[in-house]
Amino acid sequence: MSTAKLRASEVCVDYANRRTGKRLRALDHVNLDVYQGEFVCIVGTSGCGKTTFLNCVDGLLPITGGSLSLDGVEIKRPGPDRAMVFQHASLLPWRTVLGNVIYGLELQGRHRKEALERGREFVQLVGLAGFEDSYPAELSGGMQQRVNLARALATDPQMLLLDEPFASLDAQTREFMQAELLKIWRKTQKTALFITHQIGEAIYLADRVIVFSARPGRVREEVPIDIPRPRPLRVKRDPAFLKYEDHVWQIIEEEVRKTGLIIIDEEPEESVRPATGLLRDA
């Protein structure tokens, strides 16, 4: 296999509590490679360090042990080679759709004419042609996240980082946004690292699903997803898809048991899933 684009080797992250003087290990010797053009999803129990790891990749949080590199260069700080799509769109309310999309280009010092041309290209790519002059308050939640995605892609990052970008959307909109994201990903061919609590979402989107252990987070298992692309939403009802879902769920359930924070009785699967907050997609 080719050289990894993103390489995490024995990555550790510790948090210090200044009041108590105690240290909490959030990530414990994480080893993970992501290759050019891959779509990789990370799932795991709440508090397992998924978002912590993504923040380290973005350069927002320093690691305390191991090494983390992109294209062979150590990650020490945020950079234009990575773009983050957060759970909340965080659009500038006084800027139009187009104004928000070109904001990152302006920060890069791009010429305004070039920025506007590129901004319009990505507004069209995410399906918002005709809304260039609309303001965030005039858009639905799904449309706002399309703007958020267009803003990230417009800067032409080497890697796209997505931290539960659809978590605040209603179930139906979330389903359609997953399908739209795959269409955009196929067109841009960006390497993507996606964090989610939804097992079904991860399996639908990913080439590989990485399951983190309970805190301190480490890679418990890598699950290659052998489902042909393109993937229509109806693939979520296929037996092969459900088999992947049950396998990943079983791993996460084992990790939940280890924490001792939630006691799961030996009952049918569906009856225990609401207790953990890790539900199958509808």
Give me the CATH number covering residue 206: 3.40.50.300
Mind giving me the DSSP string for 164-221? STTTTS-HHHHHHHHHHHHHHHHHH--EEEEE-S-HHHHHHH-SEEEEEPSSSB-EEE
* Element (DSSP H or E) covering residue 245: helix 239-259
pLDDT at res. 56? 98
Domain annotation covers residue 165: no
- Helix pair 269-276, 239-259: axis angle to 10 deg: 60
Q: With bands split at pLDDT 50, 70 and 90, how would you rate the model's confidence at 258? A: confident
Q: With bands split at pLDDT 50, 70 and 90, how would you rate the model's confidence at 275? A: very low
Would you state the structure tokens that stand for residue 114, as one six-digit string?
């070039």
In whole angstroms, give the CA distance from residue 79 to residue 270.
43
Largest CA distance in the chain: 63
Domain span at 19: 1-81+195-282
pLDDT at res. 259? 78
Domain annotation covers residue 10: yes
Closest C-alpha among 117, 62, 51 to residue 84: 51
- Write the single-letter amino acid at 265: D
**pLDDT > 60? residue 269:** no
Domain annotation covers residue 277: yes
Would you state the structure tokens that stand for residue 228, as one six-digit string?
């042909």
Domain annotation covers residue 89: no
Domain annotation covers residue 189: no
Domain annotation covers residue 122: no
Average pLDDT (36-40) is: 97
- How many domains is the chain partitioned into structurally? 1
Domain annotation covers residue 20: yes
Domain annotation covers residue 263: yes
pLDDT at res. 17? 82
Residue 46, Cβ density class (10 Å: 0-12 exposed, 13-18 middle, ≥19 buried): middle
As a whole number, the mean pLDDT across the chain is 91
The pTM of this model reads 0.90
Q: With bands split at pLDDT 50, 70 and 90, how would you rate the model's confidence at 281? A: very low
pLDDT at res. 276? 39
Q: With bands split at pLDDT 50, 70 and 90, how would you rate the model's confidence at 3? A: confident
